[in-house]
Structure 1
């Protein structure tokens, strides 16, 4: 089961860090993209090859110090089939390196459409009796806007294939409050979604005591996160907003339960493009090493904050 594998990885590596693989071609080092531009021209093929090489180097350098990686599919989809091929190959490579993969796809739709999304990203597709795996990920992010039946469509594949999902509850973007903070019948929308997640979490409990149905809860809104932690005690939080978006290790402590578990903290730009921090002596030629150093520093900062607040899982 996904959640048991995640908690095992966290404990073995003593790390709650997730690295977001959100490649931006303009930020990929010239030493990488220049090689493919010279070979293929400024084409979709060149971009996809550059992204894949870049991702592999990042994965090689962080695979022993982070719990999971989280490729955001939009950064691949924008380059069409070539980009999606890089996404698939990135996921497979990360899995070969022993990492769990959270496919950041934010899908969600009515009935059969959600089931198709579930087949594609969590289960298998059936072609006249022959099953095929499409995207090799362990968990996904899901948009609950269309309601509870949207989420229910994913549960069957989560249980059958041992996968997981993180439902958007309180997101890190500045405009999230326009809808998520609205009060309906005495409750904020994000509180209503949290109740839906908590109910679903009871259907997918692992031996570790946590559920494979988790929640996306932003580090940039620590007070809300503290309240939501109590509302969803069995759900793991996928926490965006650390680093480049402004949240620190101290801001995310309340995303964790008293046992020091219950959350994984994502950082994307702050790790994968760490080589740009020239003040630290990083160079583009050693962008992988720079990512590793930032991942280690993030892991240690989070563990120090947890220990200071009496929330140790080790």
Structure 2
């Protein structure tokens, strides 16, 4: 079923086609900011905001979207939440797309209020991340925003963290693993809310952890089976995933964004370019973009 509304997932598909697959994670800790920049700022929250704005300005033309992890702002208290809101507003002002990494997973009225908080007002984002483990009634309250405003979400399916096998890989009595059951429901949801580029309004989080042998086959099978799900792909860079791992989860040169946070935020520290930290971040994003493109087209130089 094709909707007449323009989903944000369509916009993200088009951003990937134009700019590449990089999603810059603004998980901005003061630990990631050059000491001189911290000293120059009036507060930790002000330093984070100035740093974010500089990185956004430097990377916007090579970045499909920005993922902003709210925990890094919550830890700074009210000033941090103000910085969070101002960061989202700045991305929007510059024409970028925003994934609010909030991993909400509650139900009913609570979920509806979370949705209003993060799809409207001071904390408005284009996409959010959601946890499905209380059931589909933790996802459904967000859907009205897709139907009316084109908003999107990425639902945790098969992640890239150390403990992913604790629950996601549990075998079900009906066959398959728990993450397969999540994928089945998300594929059904996508089919009912399909955008103009063949992907559902809501996609899935599928990690690009390092793979070989059977794990590579598993990743390829997930991509083939979930053809109507756009993927948010974490695990690149500091978590150990590489371009080849990410490429397994892409489809026809698109179908996903690949997130990197620390490897871009802290690029200045590995190059010794603290005075040009924004340029270092941009260069890291370009290297990542080109590596993914090369992995998708191994026969081309």
Compute the TM-score of the two structures, normalised by the length of structure 1.
Answer: 0.89
Partner of 1:204: 193
**Kept after mapping to 2: 8 A contact 1:71/1:104:** yes
Give runs of aligned pairs for residues 1-314 of structure 1, distance below 5 A. 1-13=7-19, 15-36=20-41, 39=42, 46-122=43-119, 124=120, 133-185=121-173, 186-220=175-209, 222=211, 223=215, 224-257=218-251, 259-278=252-271, 282-308=272-298
1:209 & 1:192 partners in 2: Cα distance? 21
Note the alpha carbon deviations across 1:46-80, whole angstroms, 9 max, x for none.
11111000100110110010100001000001111
**Kept after mapping to 2: 8 A contact 1:21/1:72:** yes
Compute the TM-score of the two structures, normalised by the length of structure 2.
Answer: 0.92
1:175 & 1:158 partners in 2: Cα distance? 31
Structure 2: runs of 5 or more not aligned? 1-6
Instruction: State the Cα distance separating 1:265 from its structure 2 match.
Output: 0.4
Note the alpha carbon deviations across 1:258-290, whole angstroms, 9 max, x for none.
x21111100000011100113xxx411111000
2:133 & 2:78 partners in 1: Cα distance? 28
Q: Call closer, same or farther: CA 1:215–1:221 in 2, change over 3 Å.
A: farther
Instruction: State the Cα distance separating 1:182 from its structure 2 match.
Output: 0.8
Instruction: State the Cα distance separating 1:173 from its structure 2 match.
Output: 0.8
Structure scoring higher RCO (CA < 8 A, sep ≥ 6) equals 2
1:196 & 1:134 partners in 2: Cα distance? 31
